Structure 1
């Protein structure tokens, strides 16, 4: 019988990364050691700069207690649309969950900021004492890009390389704030002219080595860079270049 698994290519990687970056919720499967039966639950998700999923859970939740006992888990993320739901892409991430213990650390502050930028309604409960962030460290992935399009992927296929980009971790928060405060017109053009989104007061919510996340209410779009950043000093020229591309496209239209 013909092997249904296809070789991983650039298009498959792009589909998987887009799903991971733009998803706002997913199905988390944890291990119930007592019964031996997997336990699935709905969780809200965001991503760290490299693309690792982030979740916020309550100590009262069953899946939190299961993660504390066994950190192995999987997360299913899918796109939605008209017609057969199985015709739309989805990705399953096999991972090990790590609780973020120090919220006051640079990592903890970054994760909190990025999560709330993607899930603003979580600000109502994020600081409750029984809530904690978890980072899902991906081991491998399985992408179904639609009928007859199945791929097995490793972590390098779905995460952004961070070599030489430690400075981006420090730069990102200020860059996001600056763009939203002083260049809101460019941010809106990124969404409408380069992503084909509807008009509105779009906001930049996250920057990573491979692109931008933009939001209008609950609507999320992603703008992938023409080429990934290899150093933090490349961010500003990339933002300027994209703004000019968007304005040129606006003029041409």
Structure 2
């Protein structure tokens, strides 16, 4: 029986290679059928099971932005050179990055002359090994100053309380990057462009706050349940062991041991989650239904 479901902190997004499954406990190498480019010349084995339940890149992008507190703002100097700056951020409800920056900063002087800019966020800090195995997202658009930033200022200071010490300085203002295009890279061989409409219409994953601890809980305390999932729904009836490596609003991803080696398996939830509290009942409910059918 599943019990004592742990509450967790924001999970680190550490998937690599071709399918970037939103919340994982390490790099996942799964070749995706619809990638723009796939590197390497070998034949990669795709995931088994209910593979149409992976999140799309717009959803992965919104979730990555939602979990980000900083990024690299790239602006154009007066003579046309790109100039990168590390800045703190918060994300507006529609997905635009909100920045608190000083008029004295080089990047602010740049955007007052040329509003075109980009903003990069990544998961490199959560990767043990090659940082290029992590996901990253570049938002491209135009910077604009916020004339009435009260609500967004509260949101920003809630995430960055230390900024209250200088937020009221006369030279500091809130700006947003109005997104026009996005470039998502989920790791080696997984990359795509998307328009602003797709990005804005996507929603962050509701399980982002507790996925990491849920994964640890399942692997530490319920390895038998993991095996039931992959044998009954994950397309690997011969599995001898299974470790959960990712979970999102659509389902769970497992690394599975078989006599022929390791494979990845995807198990979909019966319905799409809309709030974080559904994670535990979704997992327990699916497990119970599979055991009842056995």
Alignment TM class, shorter chain as reference: 0.5 to 0.7
What is aligned with 1:5?
36
Query: Which structure exhibits the higher relative contact order, with contacts defined as CA atoms closer than 8 Å and separated by 6 or more residues?
Result: 2
Please give the alpha-carbon distance, in whole angstroms, between the structure 2 residues aligned to 1:155 and 1:40.
Answer: 22
Give me the TM-score of the superposition, normalised by structure 1: 0.61
Q: Distance in 1 between matches of 2:35 and 2:281?
A: 44
Aligned partner of 1:24 among 44, 63, 69: 69
1:64 paired with 2:87, answer no
Distance, in Å, in 2 between the alignment partners of 1:26 and 1:118 is 14
Matches within 5 A, 1:105-184: 108-160=149-201
Cα deviation, residue 150, structure 1: 1.2
Q: CA deviation at 1:101?
A: 2.1
The Cα shift of 1:124 comes to 1.7
2:145 aligns with 99
Q: How many angstroms apart in 2 are the aligned matches of 1:154 and 1:244?
A: 30
The residue matched to 1:145 in structure 2 has which SS? Answer: strand
Which residue, out of 121, 130, 142, partners 1:77? 121
Distance 1:132 1:191, change over 3 A: same
Say if 2:76 and 2:116, in contact at 8 Å, map to a contact too: yes
Partner-residue secondary structure (3-state), 1:134: strand
With the length of structure 2 as denominator, give the TM-score of the two structures.
Answer: 0.53
RMSD: 3.4
The reply to whether residue 90 of structure 1 matches residue 136 of structure 2 is yes
Contact persistence 2:134–2:187 (CA under 8 A): yes
Alpha-carbon contact 2:111-2:143 (below 8 Å) kept = yes
Q: How far, CA to CA, are the matches of 2:95 and 2:64 in structure 1?
A: 10
**Based on CA coordinates, which of the two structures has the bigger radius of gyration?**
2
Q: Structure 2 vs 1, CA of residues 116 and 27 (structure 1 numbering), >3 Å: closer, same or farther?
A: same
Structure 2 CA distance for partners of 1:71 and 1:244, relative to 1, 3 Å? closer
Q: What residue number does 1:204 align with?
A: none
Which blocks of at least 5 consecutive residues in structure 2 are unaligned?
A: 1-33, 38-53, 217-246, 251-273, 288-294
Query: 1:46 and 1:190, CA in 2 relative to 1: closer, same or farther beyond 3 A?
Result: closer
The answer as to whether partners of 1:190 and 1:246 remain within 8 angstroms in 2 is no
The 3 A distance-change label for structure 1 pair 99 and 190 is closer
Q: 2-side partners of 1:136 and 1:72: how far apart?
A: 9
Q: CA–CA distance in 2 between the matches of 1:64 and 1:30?
A: 9
Deviations 1:21-79 (A, max 9, x none): 1111111110112x221111111111001111111100110100111111110011101
In terms of fraction of residues, the more helix-rich structure is 1
CA contact 2:180–2:196 (8 Å) conserved in 1: yes
C-alpha distance after superposition, 1:185-237 (max 9, x if no partner): xxxx9944x55279xxxxxxxxxxxxxxxxxxxxxxxx9767xxxxxxxxxxx
